[in-house]
Amino acid sequence: MDEDKIEKKSIPPKVEDGSLPTTFDPLRKYLSEVSRYGVLSREEEYEVARKVFEDKDRGAAQKLVMSNLKLVIKISLEYYNTYLNVLDLIQEGNVGLLHAVKKYNPYKGTKFSTYASFWIRAYILKYIMDSWSLVKVGTTQSQRKLFYRLNKEKQKLEALGMIPVPALLASNLDVKEEEIEEMQKRLSFTDISLDSPIHDESDDTIMDMIRGGDDVEEVVSNKEKREILAQRVKEFKKGLNDKEVFIFEQRIMAEDPLTLQEIGQQFKISRERARQIENRVIKKFKERFQNEFHELDF
């Protein structure tokens, strides 16, 4: 199934700038159109995705795309700022959604929305990085040349004990002072680091997202497993008393665990008593999670 053959009305038209005219607001028009499409239930989603995967059913693919357009909007708004056009982000996210529809395997047990979010973010982030690189460097040959020479010249002057003011830089590089000031403005844009987290609540980085490639199912599956396990552990701690919770968090699960002596001092108990409580918590944990670990394939 070719992504390009899926009906393109699912992708909004680009606009020339970020402004939204009052007489014709393309974003509002697009949001109104998307609001007409309902969200599939888990059972419906699985059946539709199965038809796409097994039969290359174009109608089913279209249905899967349309039912997830709101997801693309939601993710696009996470990365929107006054510099970027939100419709451009939505368009790139929709391309990622099309890619997810093409690659998704419903038999691997991952929800389509979870899987698609990976590709939607990947396409949006790639677009943002490409756009900001263009803003920094500029589009003309002279701008690109100045971009690569400017930092070198600044470092050279600073090494000589001189302050690299625009006038001096312009003289040394044989360009107008205004061009130096304009390039410095470009360079002042906040850059995106490949090691930056995807969003505030994630430890995954942009690089993790982009290099996922064909291993995306494994990446998403592992993420789901970690989230399930974290929830199970949270529930497990509710059945412990204060001492047990402290020992569980500060010794059993800690990267830099406290010693039994330190725990004894904390609760004014002997080192041996602290060890007994630790063993009791470990036993409870094993009894609770023996089946869970097997189920989650850890």
Band of residue 29 on the pLDDT scale cut at 50, 70, 90: confident
State the average pLDDT for the chain. 77
Sequence-distant contacts of 157-165: CB under 8 A, at least 24 apart = none
Q: Which of 66, 77, 76, 67 is nearest to 7 (CA)?
A: 66
Evaluate if residue 10 carries a pLDDT over 50. no
Average pLDDT (7-17) is 44
Q: Give ∠ CA 35-77-194 in degrees, rounded to 5.
A: 140
Q: Which of 104, 129, 125, 132 is nearest to 209 (CA)?
A: 125
Domains 3-135 and 239-296 agree in fold: no
84 contacts 67 by C-beta, under 8 angstroms:
no
Q: Exposed/middle/buried for 182, CB within 10 Å: 0-12, 13-18, 19+?
A: middle
CA atoms in the 13 A half-sphere facing the CB of 60 = 18
pLDDT 10s digits, 146-168: 776 887 788 888 877 788 888 88
Second CATH level (architecture) for the domain 3-135: Up-down Bundle (1.20)
In the chain, where are the structural domains located? 3-135, 138-187, 239-296
Q: Give the CATH fold of the 239-296 domain.
A: Arc Repressor Mutant, subunit A (1.10.10)
pLDDT of residue 70: 93
Residue that is written with structure tokens 């830089």 in the block: 169
pLDDT 10s digits, 49-87: 999 999 999 999 999 999 999 999 998 888 776 446 888
pLDDT 10s digits, 205-256: 545 544 444 455 555 556 666 677 778 888 889 999 999 999 999 998 887 8
